[in-house]
Structure 1
Amino acid sequence: MASDLTFPSIFLLETRLTDDERRQLKEQIPSLTTDVGKAQVFLGKLSTRERAQFELRRLGLATIEEGRHRRTATAPTVAEPAAKRRKTGAQTQSPIVISSSSDDEDTVEIASEPQTPVKVAKLAWFTESVARGQVLPLADYTVYKGWRVQQEPSIASSSPAHASQAEGILKRAQADATGSQHGSPSRRKKFDGAAAAPPRPTLARTTTSEQDLVEHMPPVPEFLHTIYACQRPTPLNGPNERFVEALKTIRLARQLMGDKIGIRAYSTAIATIAAYPYKLSTPAEVSRLPGCGPKTAQLFREFQSSGGHVREADDDEADAKLSVLRLFYNIWGVADTTARSFYNRGWRDLDDVIDYGWKELTRVQQIGVKYYDELQELLTRAQVEAIADRVLEHANRIHDGFQMVIAGGYRRGKALSGDVDLIISHPDESATHLLIGRLVLSLETAGLVTHTLTLSTANSERGQEAVSWKGNAPNHGLDSQASGGVGFDTLDKALVVWQDPMEDDGAEKAEKTEKTEKKQTNTNPHRRVDIIVSPWKTVGCAVLGWSGGTTFQRDLRRYCKNEKALRFDSSGARSRIDGSPVDLEGFYGSDPAPDMLAAERRVFEALGLEFRPPNERCTG
């Protein structure tokens, strides 16, 4: 029981909490306070320092992050008089003071040791503490730690000189407003031209017909009131697909510029609108959807009034810097952080990368540059299936009885794919142990794999068990199209470059002799192929973990963590309470799944989720 534990004073950050969660937490937290000034810990559903700072600012609480202040020997002028301290006998501590210097930059000073710091922690700290029956160390869950600060008195009240300065500023502002009557010629000239002053914002007009549409809006589907995208049906091609694509353009720009909060906000809005089953009619209809605020509604107003264009998306497409960042980001093995690093070095095209940074590139990135144009070519469904058939054929040459699922965008129904994601498994666990090395060697010998860039046997090395609940795997995507998250190296996996033999032309034909092949120059494009090997006992987790859109996968992990106290990834599930493996597929109940897709359905059922076919997991 939470009431049996001694928690510090907690202020609940209610952003992203459902009504039920908010009510339950208020009943459960024994040390809950609504006084920001008394709170020792701010608790909420957040995971980044930036978001924590934003939530504190929203509460009107000014803080400075720990480690960003400087100490001084002289106490600030706002400290209590020495006589009063002697009279009370109390040892007061001077607060942090933010003062403005002559160059308009804030200076942070501490005259003595500050009081208790402000700590913002993940909600999991409280829920997992209750689950274990003890208050866990807060440090493991702290998102942000800082000191409360107070602003130096404003210039209007700090001194007569400052008051005079303020009065002068007001007079100059009045002169600017009245134009030729009071402003100087130089100041009038600055604001005369159309380009000099920002345009006056226009009012958002609502017509009678639009008001009629508002009154007859369809009800928001019940499934959209859930906070997890893995609980919603999200089709590949929804009625608002064009607007969603515009939002994706803006989200990519935010990602390339390193705006983590913007990425999360746009991902949430995109997932909601993609799942909305009706064609949007008005901005009001957008703003009422969960995860879509005034900003999204305004973007839809632009989209609607301009015949399907959003100015911000169009500007992002035309922006010269973003164009270069997209070029670098599309190099295989280059994430957004690396793309920005290339740009900041002054590089502007692939020739710059080759001329100035070739030796610094990883092998994956070198291959990505070498075959850049070929790897940008998309594969048809028939081409994906042809590659899959060849891989499965070679697996069954090693040990008969392997099964395969083509995952990724192909499984979600996309007509074209950027790469091929293949999951292989076998009911006999000894068949999957260390298979990946033998399989890749067989494909290389046949001339189908030209480069092996990554080959991991991490799962075999740990006995084909689920990854540690502490999350000791590298930080890569669950899906090859995702960036971030967990799961890339938790299963045996090979990331290879594929090239069809000349005689194939994308279709399977009889092999020619090795002598004939050497006389030909292979002009078939190189392709990216990921081969994942899963043991049968957790193959349902593997198929699920590689088949959903990015937001679907993100929310699936969040759901497992918050609702089931599980750590989930493509290698299986473990309890977050004691770290023990959790059987989601009935494998140890002497009733193994008959095939890989049946195993995936069992995972949905065990997690308490309604089964969603892959073509309803297209969250973007």
Structure 2
Amino acid sequence: MSPKRTRKPTPKSDGEDSSDSYSDFRHDLKRPRSNSPWNITDNTSADNPPLKIYVLSVKFDATTYQSLVCLVEDCLLRVGKDEHSPATLRRVELSANLEEADVIVTAIRTRPRLERHVNPSLATYMTSLILITDQKSRPIVTAEWLQNSVRSGFLLPCADYAALRDFRKETARLCPDQKQGDVIAPEQLGAPPKPQVFRDPEELVDARDAAALDHTSRYSCQRGSPLSCPNQGLVRELDVIRRCRFVEGEERSVLSYSRAIALTSMAAYPSPITAEKLHSGVAKLPFLGEKILSMIEEYTGAGKIAEAQEAILSSPRFQSLSAFTAIYGIGPHTARKLYALGLRTLEELDRYYEVTPGDASTEAPSHVASDKHYTEEVEAEISIKVGLALRHDFGQLISREEAEEINRVVMEVLASIQEDCKSLIVGGYRRGKPQSNDVDIVITHSDWNSGSKKVKGLSKKLVQVLHERSMFLYFSDLSGFHEHNTLRTHNWDSLEKALTVLCLPSNAGGRRIHRRVDLIFATPEVFWTAVVGWTGSTMFQRDLRLWAKQQKGMKFDSSGISRRRDSKLYFPKSEREVFEILGLAYVHPSLRNADA
């Protein structure tokens, strides 16, 4: 969409909250003035043409987009690092056409999305990921580049604001703060540097990484498990049996069927399993016992497994226990206790817990406001009441777009507490799922050296501010940092986290929907282990820990990697390096769906 000239945003009234708006941004700008001690004037000419900015509106909300457009109006920027530099000014103008622009400002941070929103007839992409149109190279930067340049009055270097973060070097070389006349041809860019940070799961899987994976491996972390597989029907049948064992508390049997789905490569088997392949290939896969093999043989012949379809799905007990365990806060042990009390439906649970569906305000007392501490039993009952009251909200799946919006809002609030934090949405979102049940966000500070001190304690502070802004309802866990558990005396990681129920401001009068949002805070040195651990899936994560212990003599969890014999700690600086330290081939996030 071509940008339109808009009026400046009107000031907010005294009662309005402007903390999340850019509308007052222009009041604090440092612009060259006629009475400035620099004593410089606009010298725009044919030799010094205006700098044209194209603002790609996609992913900017209306207020932010209008503010960015307003920033460009009547703007002069000094070319130079400080006031002692030569007095050169460049006028900044808004470009309505992408092909005429010198710089592209965007909120998009991945190549595939950028390609979707740029007309293919106007742009092609080199391997360097720098936008090329009509043989002219353009840097692609974030909105902060424009905002900070206008605020400082200087044309800032682009490298620190590269929208495509893996290519800061190329962005720096294309930045308009270069001397006039310095034209960089595409062929001069050279080969792109090796990425040092994670690759977004929306990017294509590298064929070389995929070729290193083996679907016959004993460990899920050595196989590629996509969201869907050629044997998805068989996986669903086995998962019914696994869920039955789960609600009945048969943990060893649950693990066996989970391995039948994941560890034995059902989810990663490269072709449909037929009766012919059953004994020649499938039977040789690890951990397949006679019982599971007979079920697979039954499925290849009848297209179903009788125990799953006839004995389990038709069982009233299974139906009740499944409905109970689907409620936030109810595990299989509690579900069986409730069933033993004679409860069979969710409506009966409402009456038992005295809950009104849709109203959780009285069921979730504010821990933040009252600073009360409850026993485990009371906490468990509060969680169940919240889960029952909000089950209709929690039952609505969260789209990728909504997950991104939740992340954006949370990080805007966090920025008011601590600057320079960064986040990554993990969980099913990062594995490529189109919809998720909740949102998991890993947060850290961008300063490797001092970030550890700055990120500690942020969890409670963030929950407090979210509460003050009426976005926070409840948390089921609010834990602080403690040392990485090298001896592994417990399974829970040592990260600071808040497992919350949040409710974002409604849009255009729409109903506010409560969402489960897990906020995980990691110090910079363990950020990437936290990302790998919280990306999942459950079996992939389980096998990663098992591989580290059995094959490498190491301990892995979300809070770090250590060597067991001497407790040496490892601090990877990228996701790929996590796999390298553990001696594994890199597995793309979209290939870590080892669960059903």
**Larger displacement relative to structure 2 (372-381 or 541-550):** 372-381
CA–CA distance in 2 between the matches of 1:541 and 1:302?
41
CA–CA distance in 1 between the matches of 2:383 and 2:542?
25
The match for 1:314 among 309, 313, 316 is 309
Instruction: Say if 2:353 and 2:385, in contact at 8 Å, map to a contact too.
Output: no
The match for 1:281 among 274, 280, 298 is 274
**Residue 504 of structure 1: CA displacement?**
5.8
Instruction: Say if 1:286 and 1:300, in contact at 8 Å, map to a contact too.
Output: no
Give CA deviations for 1:72-128 in whole Å, capped at 9, x if unaligned. Answer: xxxxxxxxxxxxxxxxxxxxxxxxxxxxxxxxxxxxxxxxxxxxxxxxxxxxxxxxx
CA–CA distance in 1 between the matches of 2:257 and 2:575?
29
Note if 1:442 corresponds to 2:488: no
Instruction: Say if 2:442 and 2:519, in contact at 8 Å, map to a contact too.
Output: yes
**Larger displacement relative to structure 2 (338-347 or 319-328):** 338-347
CA–CA distance in 2 between the matches of 1:321 and 1:366?
22
SS at 1:558 equivalent: helix
| Structure 2: runs of 5 or more not aligned | 1-211, 355-376
The match for 1:255 among 222, 233, 246 is 246
User: Superposed, which structure 2 residues align to 1:455-534 within 5 Å?
Assistant: 455-457=478-480, 459=481, 462=482, 465-466=483-484, 468-473=485-490, 486-487=491-492, 490-503=494-507, 523-534=511-522
Task: Tell me what 1:293 maps to.
Answer: 289
CA–CA distance in 2 between the matches of 1:261 and 1:532?
30
CA–CA distance in 2 between the matches of 1:433 and 1:500?
25
Note if 1:538 corresponds to 2:538: no
CA–CA distance in 2 between the matches of 1:577 and 1:364?
40
CA–CA distance in 2 between the matches of 1:610 and 1:243?
28
Task: Tell me what 2:362 maps to.
Answer: none
Task: Tell me what 1:618 maps to.
Answer: 593
CA–CA distance in 1 between the matches of 2:518 and 2:213?
37
> Which letter does structure 2 place at the counterpart of 1:607?
L
Note if 1:606 corresponds to 2:581: yes
Instruction: Say if 1:498 and 1:528, in contact at 8 Å, map to a contact too.
Output: yes
> Which letter does structure 2 place at the counterpart of 1:583?
Y
The structure where helix makes up a greater share of residues is 1
Give CA deviations for 1:496-525 in whole Å, capped at 9, x if unaligned. Answer: 1122222267xxxxxxxxxxxxxxxx7332
> Which letter does structure 2 place at the counterpart of 1:614?
P
> Which letter does structure 1 place at the counterpart of 2:587?
R
SS at 1:414 equivalent: coil
**Residue 392 of structure 1: CA displacement?**
1.5
The alignment's TM-score, normalised by the length of structure 2, stands at 0.56
Note if 1:346 corresponds to 2:333: no
Give CA deviations for 1:455-495 in whole Å, capped at 9, x if unaligned. Answer: 111x1xx3xx42x223344xxxxxxxxxxxx235x211111
CA–CA distance in 2 between the matches of 1:449 and 1:243?
41
Task: Tell me what 1:400 maps to.
Answer: 419
Instruction: Say if 2:213 and 2:222, in contact at 8 Å, map to a contact too.
Output: no
User: Superposed, which structure 2 residues align to 1:562-573 within 5 Å?
Assistant: 562-573=550-561
Task: Tell me what 2:232 maps to.
Answer: 241
User: Superposed, which structure 2 residues align to 1:545-560 within 5 Å?
Assistant: 545-560=533-548
Instruction: Say if 1:287 and 1:294, in contact at 8 Å, map to a contact too.
Output: no
Note if 1:270 corresponds to 2:261: yes
Note if 1:583 corresponds to 2:570: yes
CA–CA distance in 2 between the matches of 1:402 and 1:549?
26
CA–CA distance in 2 between the matches of 1:236 and 1:381?
15
Instruction: Say if 2:215 and 2:224, in contact at 8 Å, map to a contact too.
Output: no
How many residue pairs match? The answer is 352
Pair 222,447 (structure 1): closer, same or farther in 2 beyond 3 Å: closer
* Structure 1 residue ranges (4+ consecutive) displaced by more than 6 angstroms after TM superposition: none
CA–CA distance in 2 between the matches of 1:564 and 1:603?
13
Give CA deviations for 1:200-219 in whole Å, capped at 9, x if unaligned. Answer: xxxxxxxxxxxxxxxxxxxx
> Which letter does structure 2 place at the counterpart of 1:243?
L
> Which letter does structure 1 place at the counterpart of 2:526?
T
**Residue 560 of structure 1: CA displacement?**
1.3
> Which letter does structure 2 place at the counterpart of 1:373?
H
Q: RMSD across aligned C-alpha pairs, in angstroms? A: 2.3
Note if 1:411 corresponds to 2:406: no
Pair 581,338 (structure 1): closer, same or farther in 2 beyond 3 Å: farther
Task: Tell me what 1:424 maps to.
Answer: 443
CA–CA distance in 2 between the matches of 1:228 and 1:453?
32
CA–CA distance in 2 between the matches of 1:565 and 1:442?
43
> Which letter does structure 1 place at the counterpart of 2:391?
Y
Instruction: Say if 1:411 and 1:614, in contact at 8 Å, map to a contact too.
Output: yes
| Structure 1: runs of 5 or more not aligned | 1-220, 474-485, 506-521, 586-592, 594-598
